Chain A
Amino acid sequence: MKTLAGLIKGVWNDKQGRLGLIIVTLLALVALFAPLIAPYDPYDVNQRADKGLSPSLSHLLGTSLTTGQDIFSMLIYGTRVSLTVGVITGIAIALLGSVLGICAGYIGGVCDMLLMRIVDVMIVIPTLPLTILITNVFGKSYVVIVTVFVLFGWSGLARTVRSQVLKLKSCDYVKAAELSGASKRYIMFRHILPAVSNLVVMSTALTCAGVMIAEAGLSFLGLGNPTAVSWGKMLADAQSGGSMLFGQWWTILAPGIGIFISVFAFMRIGLAMESVLNPAMKGRSGLGRLMRKMRRGELDKVLAEMEEPE
């Protein structure tokens, strides 16, 4: 088993994973220092220029057709919404999904049955229409969106964790802990949770990516916070403002590329973690991978992994 630091190091050694890590760090910096980087404040009504300006030195990507905000600044501020919604939802889902998955898997019985029935229901309910309905009832805000994503998004992770826990349950060290009189809670948090934590971290990266796409879609439909600057809303404004009619393709390309890059980076990290944790899953030939690892002097690690009971 790997520690979190070991996992990140593994991702860093993966070429694609490193790309993902670098991009996410850059995006986080951009989001954090948005007011310093952006030449204009898109939230400030006084800093609006003429509508639909073409790119120039004073407005790198021109201005929006509907409001006259500087698109480059909006792009930078949009990072904040996308990253916060994605990361907060991802972490909350990771916590909820792993706790519920461990409970279902380890305690079993009624608890397991109840949770799995809830999961059955959640899989059936269409997520996007449900989110739309709930934003209609509770108002359009990112708090509502994140809550809905978390409450209805943990089922996938809980299922994966549960099946993993069922396997771990019959492991010798868990049995030994049980026999020596450890409480269920102790076993769950001291033995089972660390064993599934890597799986959870990996799926969190992929969840973040998925949530960011979903958030963009909702903002595009006009269901996010109407006053916030987000990439999805920029796309919607560009489309409804007729930017395509006027041939202003950059107003569509810029936020789209923003969404793409951030989602891509999180996916890359997730996939790199997957191949670090579960080398057999990697699509390429096993021998080639072994050779590469040998070159990096990681063979010992690989062998250690092989000896571990799955």
Chain B
Amino acid sequence: MAENNKITKKEDLILFLSDTDEREGLLGKKNRKLLSDPLTDNNPITVQVLGICSALAITVKLEPAIVMSLAVMAVMAFSNMIISLLRNLIPSRIRIIVQLVVVAALVILVDQILKAYAYDVSKQLSVFVGLIITNCIVMGRLEAFALGNGVYKSFLDGIGNAAGYAFILILVAFFREFLGFGKLLGYQIIPQSWYDAGYSNNGLMLLSPMALITVGLIIWVQRSRSRSLIEQN
């Protein structure tokens, strides 16, 4: 769960120590930071290296990646809010269990509602909805943020981190579907004339290792752009 929380810990500590009742606009500077940081220098996938498992599993095509992102966003926003509401009541010895119960209950709710009212979407996501429970980002944010911050801030943090996750997921899915199938969202993008001229889809892109390599390339690009992310030793 905590492959790399050097950066998160320091930031969270500052947020934890700062007065949470501090008067600030709904989307004041600090709150905006909660939303924007996970998209860039504190991205849950490329910087904290959390949630890699689902980034591999559902990025073969763009559409499931988008739906999965939305489901994760809903679960993260609500679980962060619930845990933040309960943060002063949860006995610290069993907090991980409580977090798991809350996340699992939310995921089952999402699954049941999708099955009843959005049957096609639920079929498309199939087992991956259930796997949101095991997504390290959800538990990671509950533990690192929601337990020590107010409800609204936790909500923003949930949305922000889910957006950071979604951004990478969709980016990886874009390259995998484009290079692997020549399609985007199921529509043919690469024209037939290319195939006739000898181009062929890269089947390797469909296999999980290429998701890992794509994520690696994204990390490379990100680190060469913002040098502060590179570890000193």
Do chains A and B interact in one complex?
no
| B residues lining the A interface (CB < 8 Å) | none
A residues with CB within 8 A of B: none
